[in-house]
Amino acid sequence: RAGHVFLARDADPRLTGPLEDCCREAGVPVAGGHTMAQLGRACGIDVPTAAAALLAKEKTASNGIKFSVPWKI
């Protein structure tokens, strides 16, 4: 599960709009201040990207139940 999603401000809104809607419905925080090139570099890839996500860390409670903990930004 995503803990936080980053959407490129210069990406096509036909792509990022539905993704943003899904994130909001699922309660996943969304940030939109970076460019596609910046997100690509942050992901360590050689191409621009419209979206990137930090995955939530999964933890196990003392009673054996697993749950997700979003990464702190």
DSSP states along 23-44: HHHHT--EE--S-HHHHHHHTT
Using one digit for the tens of pLDDT, what is the confidence trace for 6-45? 999 999 999 999 999 999 999 999 999 999 999 999 999 9
Question: What pLDDT score does 67 carry?
Answer: 53
pLDDT at residue 1, as a whole number: 78
31 near 57, Cβ under 8 Å?
Answer: no
Whether the pLDDT of residue 49 is over 80: the answer is: yes
Instruction: Report the percent of the chain where pLDDT is more than 90.
Output: 66
